[in-house]
Amino acid sequence: MLGKLMKYEFMALGRIFLPLFAALIIMSLVSSLFGYLQLTIPTGLGIFVAVVLIIGIAVISFIITIQRFWTNLLSNEGYLTMTLPASVDSIILSKLFVSAILFIVSGIVVMGSILIMGGAWMGFGSILDMFIRAFENAPFNSYQMVIFLLQSLASVILGSFSFILLMYACMSLSMLVNKNRWLMAFGSYIAITTILQVVAVLIATIIAALGFHDRLDGVLNSFLMNFSLFGQFQFLSWSVVGVTLVLCVVYYLITRHMLSKRLNLQ
Amino acid sequence: MPILKCSSLHKVYGHTVALRNADLEIEPGRIVGLLGPNGSGKSTLIKICTGLLTPSSGFVQIGGSNPGPETKGIVSYLPENSYLNSWMKVSHMISFFKDFYSDFNMAKATEMLSNLNINTNSTIKSLSKGTKEKVQLILVMARDAKLYLLDEPIGGVDPAARDYILNTIIKNYNPEASVVISTHLIYDIEQVLDDVIFLKNGEVALSSSVDDLREQRGMSVDAYFREVFKC
């Protein structure tokens, strides 16, 4: 069922994003061709259009993630989606996976487009040199660099999940009211992000307070000094992954509970 | 075993009681009219049976199971609202149903669409409100389901289409399947009903076969309905 749900989700999103991606790639190629021919004004114009498309893709990715969940699950289309012989988990996960894939593919297309335009401007060779130099000058060895890149990639994917699931949870909470549901969804977003910020400030204050304490400061310092630079990075990175994972689970459970027990279609 | 069984079903929305300890059983092979005025709890009862709503207390069983993915595979539900994906073509919606419902009967759907002259290449958003309702009804009735739950299926269509819909329901009669039709347009559907359930303020006011009702009360279902729900 998950596969079938994802298929129709891809179809719904593909019809909007494939033309946008194609337009961006074509625009990047055209402006890099103008750049290669040293035609300044058309190149500038081409880059401007490409930048507008990049901003457009970012904004539309965000809006479509919200719109698909809202119309397909919480509005009239929900009468069909929520009565399909599929579990609530498959329904949420299909939307989550396809949206996350969309975010990542959008990122790749945007980076590719920047690379095409930058390559024509600066030369592909010099861009490649820049990457090689950055890799060589990094304070990690090759093995550590691979781990670093993989962890960064995992953080980006998990970050997308967490962002999308937060949107889903806020929209699902809107079913607690019968009127002004968009307002309720927005209010839930403000409430959740405020709570998270208060918790983050509290934790930072506690850690700072510990730093002022003579004995505890020693314990904290000796704990961190045990790690190499890579170890400290690992510690920080795993902490971020852990917190994001916990947030994902909480947002998912809120969405799941609302869709399976408190569904209130109008 | 009844195809649908509701036991002490109670549903409260805030301070409003939509269903009060409703008990009912529907046997296979019956066409049942779920009748009551607006706000009597018809849609709430149907939504609980489809799994769209969770009851406040009591339970519902379809073919012996609680509502879930398994029962959704044997229940064919027609809501009051249009649930079609507006960007899809009619042919996409047919493929969608074929993909998700193993009981979807393609030949039946194609025949009904052609009888009503509906072009499968049209996008849903280009169809009139009445045609959208017909497409939705065709998709629902083209399934070989065990239980059809039709919420106001004849409310928005013209009289000719109404006749076609009722004929479709009768033609699709299957001794293993039951059809529950919720409506307040009793006169139009009385001829096709085997049983009736009257809902009044969320309570089951009557559950009887149409023949028994006519015999005992000496009047049509429509006339008796007007008497029970007299304002």
Å between A187 CA and nearest CA of chain B: 21
pLDDT at B81: 86
Question: Is the pLDDT reported for residue B7 higher than 80?
Answer: yes
Least CA distance to A80: which residue of chain B? B83
The pLDDT of residue A220: 67
- What residues in B contact A1, CB-CB < 8 Å? 69, 100
User: Smallest Cβ distance to B69: which of A7, A79, A87?
Assistant: A87
- Kindly tell me if the per-residue pLDDT of A75 is higher than 80: yes
Task: Kindly state the average pLDDT of the residues A146-156.
Answer: 85
Query: pLDDT digits over B97-131, tens only?
Result: 999 999 999 999 999 899 888 999 999 999 988 88
Number of Cβ within a 10 Å radius of residue A140: 16
Tell me how close the Cα of A115 comes to any Cα of chain B, in angstroms.
34
Best residue in B13, B71, B81, B93 to probe A by mutation, most A CBs within 10 Å? B81
Assigned token pair, A68 = 């698909």
The structure tokens listed for A33 are 């061709």
pLDDT, one tens digit per residue, over B33-91 is 999 988 899 999 999 999 999 999 999 999 999 999 999 999 999 998 889 998 999 99
Average of per-residue pLDDT across A186-198: 96
Q: For residue A2, what is the nearest residue in chain B, using CA coordinates?
A: B100
Q: How much is the pLDDT for A239? A: 86
Range in A5-19, A204-218, B136-150 the model is least confident about:
A204-218
Residue A229 has pLDDT above 90, yes or no: no
Selected for mutation to probe chain B from A73, A82, A83 (highest B CB count within 10 Å) is A83
Mean pLDDT of chain B, nearest integer: 90
Between CA B218 and CA B224 the distance in angstroms is 9
Nearest residue of chain A to residue B83 (CA atoms)? A77
Say yes or no to pLDDT of A141 above 70: yes
> Tokens in use for A261?
């027990």
Give the pLDDT of residue B171: 77
Q: Which residues on chain A are in Cβ contact (under 8 Å) with B69?
A: 1, 85-87
Burial B209-220 (b: 16+ CB within 10 A, else e): ebeebbeeeeee
Confidence of residue A216 (pLDDT cuts 50, 70, 90): low
Confidence of residue A72 (pLDDT cuts 50, 70, 90): very high
Q: What mean pLDDT is reported for chain A? A: 87
Question: Which residue in B83, B92, B99 is closest to A4 by CB distance?
Answer: B99
Nearest-CA distance from A72 to chain B in Å? 8
pLDDT value, residue B164: 79
Q: What would the DSSP string read from start to end of A229-259?
A: HHHHHHHHHHHHHHHHHHHHHHHHHHHHHHH
Q: Which residue would you say has higher pLDDT here, B144 or A34?
A: B144
Q: Show which residues on chain A lie within 8 Å of chain B, measured between beta carbons.
A: 1, 4, 7-8, 11-12, 15, 72, 76-80, 82-87, 260-265
Structure confidence at residue B190 (pLDDT): 86
Which three-class secondary structure state does DSSP give residue B17? strand
Residue with tokens 């009681």: B17
pLDDT on residue A154: 87
Query: Which amino acid, one-letter code, is at A235?
Result: F
Sign of CA dihedral B6, B10, B11, B16: positive
Check residue A213 and give its pLDDT: 66
Q: What is the model's pLDDT at position A187? A: 97
Reported as a single tens digit per residue, the pLDDT across B152-202 is 887 767 777 778 778 877 777 677 899 999 987 888 788 889 999 999 999
DSSP structural state of residue A102: H
What pLDDT does residue A171 have? 97
Nearest beta carbon to residue A79 from set B68, B70, B79: B79
Q: What pLDDT, on the 0 to 100 scale, is given for residue A217?
A: 66
pLDDT cut 90: percent of chain A above it: 47
Q: Classify the complex by whether its ipTM is higher than 0.90, answering yes or no.
A: yes
